[in-house]
Structure 1
Amino acid sequence: MLKPLLALLALTAPVATLTAQTAPSPADPAPEDWRDIPDDEIMVITFKDGRQVFIRLAAKFAPGHVSNLRKIAMAHWWDDTSVYRVQENWVTQWGG
């Protein structure tokens, strides 16, 4: 019984000496990292409290999806709905 306990202690000893490190703060992007976005590639969602979300539409990458988004937005399909899931730079789900 003592041998397994000593083996466990020997294996966990190096872990006990580790210290937490602070994550580096993100750097501000350089001016040359910014790109102008054409007006027809931006969809703006305005919430009741005045907050806004700006979504860049990638028509060259997904022309069918962008066409559908534009049609649905122009029909006010999302009016009085909510955004219920956001993963930055990946996916946004809203509706119902």
Structure 2
Amino acid sequence: MNDYGYGLHSGRTAPCTGSCDAADCPAPALAAIRAGDPSIGLTVHRMDEGLDTGPVLVQRDGIVLGEWVTPALLWSRMGPVLAEALTESLDVG
């Protein structure tokens, strides 16, 4: 297996198949905030020849958005979950 590294996406999403463009695939965090979702997740995956088409290694849910989420508040909530997910993904992948 070639080592293309790891990809990280906000949101509990599968890596992109390459069949969508940026206009059709909004940033998951922004889409969740706009939709009024109560929480968001994150996904860590291996990258391959298609970059975002590698296998999903770790997914986490339940990061609370709240009614008045700001970028700083969102990152403070995502940080601990992200650290745990990245550590686990290194063990898995």
Q: Which has the larger radius of gyration?
A: 1
Indicate the structure whose relative CO is greater, using CA pairs within 8 Å and at least 6 residues apart. 2
Shorter-chain TM band: under 0.3
Structure 1 length as normaliser, TM-score? Answer: 0.25
